[in-house]
Structure 1
Amino acid sequence: MRIIEQIYRELLYQAIEKKRHTFTQLELSKNLRISISVVNYALRPLRAMGAIAVLARGFKVTDIEKILYYWANIRNLQRDIIYSTRVELPVSEIEKLLPSNTVFAAYSAYKFAFKDVPADYSEVYVYSRDISEIKKRFPASRNPPNLFVLNADKNIQKYGSVTTIGQTFADLWNIKEWYAKDFLKALEAKIHGH
């Protein structure tokens, strides 16, 4: 994941899940251990599209949806895949067998966050920094993959064992399976409180 995407994730996490909308660039820089110049660079397109408003001291998120769709459109999930394999088990079994330090993404993240699923799914996406244990548990296969391991950034663990709502949305947006759209619609409804 690109560094600027970590900034979008943090803004959306705070705005959607913590209901906090006002920030300073310095605060984001310190919390994410990212240079203030990168924070400033990441905020430029958000300011230009009216998704944030500049205040006397800091800025305010004014349009969550614009940030969400902007991030979803610039996200490149395929680039972050560091390992994929075929596992001949139901997804619930694959999820149970993953190491405890993995972060569930996409369909699994939705399932664990909301305790339901809008459609059946047959792939598991997770973030991890160390794939050696995953490779031991799930050896390489030449068959079409159903387990995808994405490269975890340095800040992802601070959000827990499932991706944030914003990141789940951006990741699902970039998955081609037809049922990803069912998950996106359900997630949009949850974001909007329906």
Structure 2
Amino acid sequence: MGRQTQLLHNRSLIPRPGYVVIKRESLMKCMGLKEKDRTRFEQAKFLLRKLCPKYLKVGRSYSEQTDTNWRKFCEAACEAEPMFRRYVDYWPITHYIQGYLYALKARQRERRNRRASSSEDDDEEDEEYEAESTGFCEPVKGLAASQHKVVGDRTLPKSATHILQRMFDFRAVLKEADPILGTHYERLASAGINDKQSLEAFCDFPKRFEYG
């Protein structure tokens, strides 16, 4: 008797539509919902997104979730929104969360790639900076530091640590004054403009030669 009741219950549930239909039609339409149900539909999706990090590993795809976690997630979703119980195997939950987890994973991968790319750019800038700060040299990639062409007759101060810190401070001053000016840091440094005092002198230079 119990098995017959379960069979009748399953027949009364809404089955998942075919692949072609669910790709062509909206999820709301496939669920048999009308326009008047849109608010409840959107709230149900919000609920799934809110429960997702509590029960599932958001950095992994649907296929990588454990059966236990997925069962708990579906139970919590049906408890909060009984509408999901009307569907065979809660297929709207599966359909929506599959796409949601995929998008999250892709977004995380994109962020990691962006950070890695940014880190590589910073490393290149640091290499160029180190070449410049050692004897105020002009950076020449692929050559040893001893092969760098020295600009002018300037000599390296006694404390290399001091000059490195001073150059870092100067870069910060440039970026704070004008982000565009900060991008020309290497050119200014190679011309001997490597601290706030020399920058102010450079900016004041035309005023000394104004005519009457």
Q: Common fold, TM-score beyond 0.5?
A: no
TM-score, scaled to structure 1: 0.24
**Greater Rg, structure 1 or structure 2?**
2
> Which protein has greater RCO, CA pairs closer than 8 Å, 6+ apart?
1
Bigger helix share: 2
Bigger strand share: 1
TM-score, scaled to structure 2: 0.23
